């Protein structure tokens, strides 16, 4: 593999690693701060399709401390096991009740996979780069 390709592999791997780690820390933080249990009603499930995949997001409403919230979740590829008007448990941040999460939206596994691919790709590309440099050095 030539040097430019190795550099590209390293760059892509590092981007995957950083993206995965950022997402993991974001989700862990959300799980830590969203501690109060509440119930939400699914208003609808939005669907967005492209040539490569279909993504879904929950649109929910819930009441917390006598205030009603309507929120749109994040798009994820896993089809939700719910339908409109289902009642689901959510966890709400008591300091910022507009922040919540559902078990459906926790995508920790996907983020771990991104990080693992990033780590393996980075290590593999760096090893290949070291071998390439050693061969080049031994050649001269």
Domain spans of the chain, in order of start: 3-139
pLDDT at 109: 57
pLDDT at 77: 82
Distances (CA, A) of 64 to 33, 40, 73: 15, 10, 17
**Residue 12: pLDDT over 60:** yes
Does the model's pTM come out above 0.85?
no
Higher pLDDT pick, 122 / 91: 91
Bigger pLDDT: 8 vs 42:
42
User: pLDDT (tens digit, 9 = 90+) per residue, 101-119?
Assistant: 887 776 555 656 666 777 7
pLDDT for res 115? 66
Say whether 33 sits in a helix, a strand or coil. helix
84: number of Cβ within 10 Å: 11
- For residue 136, pLDDT over 80 is answered with no
Closest CA to 113 of 8, 24, 11: 24
pLDDT digits (tens, 9 = 90+) for 30-88: 888 999 999 999 999 999 999 999 999 999 999 999 999 999 988 888 888 899 999 99
Q: Which residue has the tokens 């550099």?
A: 7
Average pLDDT, the chain: 83
């Amino acid at each position: 593999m030539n040097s430019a390709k190795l550099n590209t592999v390293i760059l892509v791997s590092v981007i995957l690693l950083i993206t995965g780690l950022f997402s993991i820390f974001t989700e862990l933080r959300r799980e830590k701060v969203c501690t109060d249990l509440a119930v939400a009603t699914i208003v609808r499930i939005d669907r967005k399709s492209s040539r490569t995949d279909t993504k879904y997001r929950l649109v929910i409403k819930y009441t917390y401390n006598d205030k009603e919230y309507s929120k749109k979740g994040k798009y994820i590829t896993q089809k939700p096991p719910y339908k409109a008007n289902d009642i689901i448990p959510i966890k709400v941040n008591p300091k910022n009740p507009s922040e919540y999460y559902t078990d459906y939206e926790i995508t920790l596994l996907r983020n771990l996979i991104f990080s693992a691919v990033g780590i393996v790709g980075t290590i593999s590309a760096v090893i290949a780069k070291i071998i390439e440099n050693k061969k080049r050095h031994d050649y001269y």
